[in-house]
Structure 1
Amino acid sequence: MNTSTQKISGSHSMKSKLYYQDSYIQTFTTRILKQEKDETGRNYLILDQTAFYPTGGGQPYDTGLIADRTVIDVEEVNGEIRHYVNAPLQENITEVNCTIDWDRRFDHMQQHAGQHILSAAFDHLFGYKTVGFHMGVDNLTIDLETEELTQEEAEKAEELANKMILENRPIEIRWVTEEELSQYDLRKETKVKDNIRLVIIPHFDYNGCGGTHPKATGEVSAVKILDWEKQRKNIRLQFACGRRVLKKLGEKQTVLQQLTKLLNAPEKDMQQAVIRMLENEKQLVKALEKSNERLLHFEATALAAEGQEVLAKAFENRTIQELQKLARMITAENENSLVIFVSTDGNRLQVVCARGKARTENMKKLIGEILPKINGRGGGNESFAQGGGEAILTSDQILDQILSVIQSSIIENQGKEI
């Protein structure tokens, strides 16, 4: 890997893009052509020449320094490469020293070249075309034009990709015309028709690309497929290259070591230890559910023993499912009972209204008169209804209002019978 410093001047657009001349340039000196703000107020510089790669072709932008200003974004807009900086430079500065964040750049070079190699491997082995590519800070994905991908296919493509890396084949860059394209076995059709830039791994991959790449496949170091999933009619495959493989391995090893201590099991027995733990958890959950059910029966029996036909009670931090079970147990035991339960949980309030078979009050109508007072929603039928809302009123206030509605209904029905 070489480190390059350049001081070149050139008016032609391609010559001014130093990253196309040498992707290893880390420092360079150039003139500032203009300094402006975009429509959102962000400061940017236009340079006479640049080694900063702008976002494009699935590859993110470079960062670094222009003089002492931090480059936070690089975009090509209307043929101009805008270098967005964290603060404007002094107006009298015309020439600046620039430094590329090399760790970020070389990571992008490894990932982009690794993507070419892996995509070519899938193409050679199975005819699966790459129809999408995304390079993030942590994740790297390609979309393969197939609806299914087997473990065996993934392993074979990964094996071939790493074979190409170990062979340390050269990665060549060639500028060609549209007429010259017929000389090359391109993996996919190029999008541009002039200034066509081919990235070539001889006898393996020929592909139009505007990204930055190392000089040989060996610098990619390694390719590792991590996972894949179906995305519409394609397979989205996640993988890592170069330093990211070591980083992923380190992260996973740290997690494994922590789990080894927590589960008191060696790595090779980790899966069985987790399966046993999950089975034990399922059994404990079932046992806990049975215990809770028995407790609810005891609670329902105790409440019913109070002998009140109209049982109105306030609770705290009870789920609506528990209130529903309690109400059903009590009304099933006593067909003359009418149950009103209210529970508060922070800013929320839950209400359950239930009646036994011998009663005639309409629970759905009853709760429908109460829920609007707490901006609530709910539903049910004539014999059982529930709902929830904001704790605008206290539990006792809600109970008083419900009991008042019930009493009014009883008086009204008695008047009809007379």
Structure 2
Amino acid sequence: MTEKLYYKDAYIKECEANVLDIIEKEGNVLVVLDKTPFYPEGGGQPSDIGTIDGIKVNYVSEQGETIYHHMEKAPKNKKVKCLIDFERRFDHMQQHSGEHLISGVIFKLYGGNNKGFHLGEEYVTLDIDIDHFSEDMIKKVEDEVNEYIYANRSFDTYMVTKDEVDKVPARKRINVDEDIRIVEAKDMDCCPCCGTHVKTTSEVGIVKILKAERYKGMTRIYIKCGKRALKDFQLKHDIVTNLNKALSVDENGILDRVNKQFEEIEGLKRESSRLKSILAGIEAENIIKNAKSKLISILIEDKSFEDIQLIGSIIENNGYIVILASLEEQKILFLNNTDIDVSCGKLFKEHIKEFNGKGGGKDKRAQGTFDNKEDLTKFCQFLSMTVREKL
């Protein structure tokens, strides 16, 4: 049995402990101590990391009453010094405590139950058994949670027996056969929990709801709390500041300016597309004028594959077998709009790999890509030779 110091003091950073056991398992070293400040993974919260006698602790797990410290190698001493990564610990305390406040407010305002919780590296997710959260609901929850934070109430943790659970003002029914640990922020939230938490709500700092989306008939809510929320704000503030400078408007005018530029870009894209179609038509006409058979096979140096597709489709509609390659992008287009028995897709499937290419298609159309111009050129020559035998 390992004494769990993090339950006595969630702010503990280090301690001395005695090594009880060292287990070699599947290339890992698992160290058991008589007591530990390291929180093991559980209840949706990741484990602590840190060092034991300067040796890295990568992960901490719990089985029964024993806690295992997964290490790179075993410590040499029987009495060791444990040091946790407290910045990570406190981050987890902020996130987990903020999740409790969000869950409590959602239950209070809308009767929604937290059915799943995950504390990730970037954000926290909660799965709530409400099918849809409106923007208004999200704002009300966020506002009330942060009011709780400003009130600077205490987070209390305590153990209760199975006979006492009915007296606990929990937001969900508790069914247990043994003693259970309760975390309570008075008048805000109360539920069983094995995680580490801050002493007062003010230490959560701020809770920000990033988004809410439908998930398996429920709603998945993404949040950031405390320092994570501050860093997120700092990042987005930098983005807004740079946009202010780039667009020569204040933050209130950014959306209007961006929307206006977006409309202008869409107009330019339409005009560009129209002009490309005209140019493709002119080029296709010139190619058809110079065609000496029903096969048109050309390697083009300075055009994108998109341009080639436009040209190819116009030539194809005039009843040709078309082989066009973009040397710029090392891609090939193969079209057959004739009665000649040539399956574009079959030829690609059977032969393109011989030329180190990738691609495929159907009877009338196929396309592929190559790593170099030499292989592309050789494959074009092969296709041309194969088609000419059918003419």
So what's the TM-score if we normalise by structure 1?
Answer: 0.84
Find 2:163's aligned residue among 176, 179, 204. 179
Give yes or no for contact 2:103–2:189 (8 Å, CA) kept in 1: no
| Distance verdict in 2 for CA 1:224–1:36, change over 3 Å | same
Q: Percent identity?
A: 28
1:126 equivalent in alignment to 2:110:
yes
Aligned position for 1:377: 360
What secondary structure, in the 3-state scheme, does the structure 1 residue paired with 2:340 have?
A: coil
Pair member with larger Rg: 1
Aligned position for 2:39: 53
Question: Residue type of the partner of 1:253?
Answer: H
Unmatched segments (≥5 aa) in structure 1: 1-11, 411-418
What secondary structure, in the 3-state scheme, does the structure 2 residue paired with 1:114 have?
A: helix
CA distance in 1, matches of 2:186, 2:387: 87
For 1:151-190, list aligned pairs within 5 A. 151-190=135-174
CA distance in 2, matches of 1:141, 1:407: 62
Aligned position for 1:76: 62
Question: Residue type of the partner of 1:48?
Answer: D
What secondary structure, in the 3-state scheme, does the structure 1 residue paired with 2:159 have?
A: strand
Instruction: State the shift of 1:114 in Å.
Output: 1.2
What secondary structure, in the 3-state scheme, does the structure 2 residue paired with 1:179 have?
A: coil
1:267 equivalent in alignment to 2:248:
no
Aligned position for 1:313: 298
CA distance in 1, matches of 2:223, 2:345: 55
1:103 equivalent in alignment to 2:103:
no
- Deviations 1:329-384, CA, capped at 9 Å, x for gaps: 33555x6xx3432315589552423356xxx42343x6634652213522134xxx
Give yes or no for contact 1:52–1:74 (8 Å, CA) kept in 2: yes
- Deviations 1:240-291, CA, capped at 9 Å, x for gaps: 2222221111111111112222222211111111111211111111111111
What secondary structure, in the 3-state scheme, does the structure 1 residue paired with 2:366 have?
A: strand
What secondary structure, in the 3-state scheme, does the structure 2 residue paired with 1:409 have?
A: coil
Give yes or no for contact 1:351–1:386 (8 Å, CA) kept in 2: yes
- Deviations 1:76-107, CA, capped at 9 Å, x for gaps: 134321112233222xx111122222221122
Give yes or no for contact 1:320–1:352 (8 Å, CA) kept in 2: no
For 1:324-403, list aligned pairs within 5 A. 324-330=309-315, 332=317, 338-345=320-327, 349-355=331-337, 360-364=339-343, 368-369=346-347, 371-375=349-353, 376-381=359-364, 385-388=365-368, 394=375, 397-403=378-384
Give yes or no for contact 1:176–1:196 (8 Å, CA) kept in 2: yes
Question: Residue type of the partner of 1:154?
Answer: I
Tell me the matched-pair count: 384
| Distance verdict in 2 for CA 1:368–1:17, change over 3 Å | closer
Give yes or no for contact 2:335–2:366 (8 Å, CA) kept in 1: yes
Aligned position for 1:241: 225
1:64 equivalent in alignment to 2:50:
yes
CA distance in 1, matches of 2:97, 2:388: 79
Question: Residue type of the partner of 1:18?
Answer: L
CA distance in 2, matches of 1:273, 1:328: 38
1:31 equivalent in alignment to 2:24:
no
| Distance verdict in 2 for CA 1:211–1:295, change over 3 Å | same
CA distance in 1, matches of 2:7, 2:97: 15
CA distance in 2, matches of 1:77, 1:19: 17
Instruction: State the shift of 1:328 in Å.
Output: 4.1
Unmatched segments (≥5 aa) in structure 2: 354-358
* RMSD over aligned Cα atoms: 2.6
CA distance in 1, matches of 2:348, 2:200: 75
